[in-house]
Amino acid sequence: MIETHPLLTEKEISRIKSIVDNFENDWVERSDGFYTLGASSYLDAATESYEKYQQKADAINTKLREQLGFLYKKVEKDLEDHMGQKVTVTKKFAVPGFHIWLENGLPRIPGPTYHFDVQHLSIPWNGKETTIEETNRDEMFTFTLPIELPKAGGGLDIWDIDHSEIANQEVEDLIPRRKRYFCTYKLGKMVIHSGLKLHRVAVTSPIYEGDRRITLQGHGRLIDGQWVLYW
């Protein structure tokens, strides 16, 4: 299920936005008008290599921790209350980072960008990679914290299709037969979900001049009895 929690004040949101803007030289363009700040396992490890991801994380983690320590603390505390267990930002993998869409990169038409969050498969936890069969779904989650949204708003499309179903069925066959939900994002409100229901960034419509969509994004993984936050 999806949960949302209010987490940030307007003042904190403005502060985070200006920090993200000050990091502009470190934004990495992933497609036209779509950037990331921070290393990301689903992009850097899953599509390049774990070594590349680790190098990128090592190059940016310290700077992000220095500037955004207050944000990570708030996120840890909120998720700790939510999970009822200790939650800490990773010391090893990439720290939570940002998705940044500028006006020209905002999704305009519903495309095949739907996915499950299975980036944890690309990371050698405790020195060895896990397979999907070894993954315990109670030991993972995804969180997203909207920092800036287009004027028309933003959110997530989620289908009632679970990752466990695609072992013997095509996602494309299931989509027309299953319900789709829309999760509305609110500024400063954290969205938490399993990552294992099919989802995608919802289209923005209409798009206004100067619109941007910025979200803090990360995942939780329970390792040796402690939740670790990473991206």
Tell whether omega for the bond before 206 is within 30 degrees of 0, i.e. cis: yes
Name the binder of 13 from ligand AKG, Fe ion, none, CB < 5-8 A by kind: none
Q: Which of residues 102-141 bind ligand AKG (CB under 6 A)?
A: 117
From residue 88, alpha-carbon distances to 54, 61, 100 in Å are 18, 14, 24
Residues between 188 and 207 with contacts to Fe ion, criterion CB under 5 A: none
Asked if 44 interacts with Fe ion (CB under 5 A), we say no
**Using an 8 Å Cβ cutoff, are 196 and 116 in contact?**
yes
**Residue 62, helix vs strand vs coil:** helix
Amino acid in the structure at residue 188 = G
Query: Which residue's C-beta sits nearest to ligand AKG?
Result: 215
142 touching ligand AKG, by CB under 6 A: yes
CA distance 59 to 53: 10
- Choose between 19 and 46: whose C-beta lies nearer to Fe ion: 46
Contact partners, residue 13, CB within 8 Å, separation at least 6: 147, 148, 187, 188
Which stretch in 1-9, 58-66, 157-165, 195-203 sits in contact with ligand AKG by CB under 6 A? 195-203
Here's the x/- map for Fe ion, 115-134, by CB under 5 A: it reads as: --x-----------------
The binding site for ligand AKG (CB under 6 A) comprises 99, 117, 142, 144, 156, 195, 199, 201, 215, 217
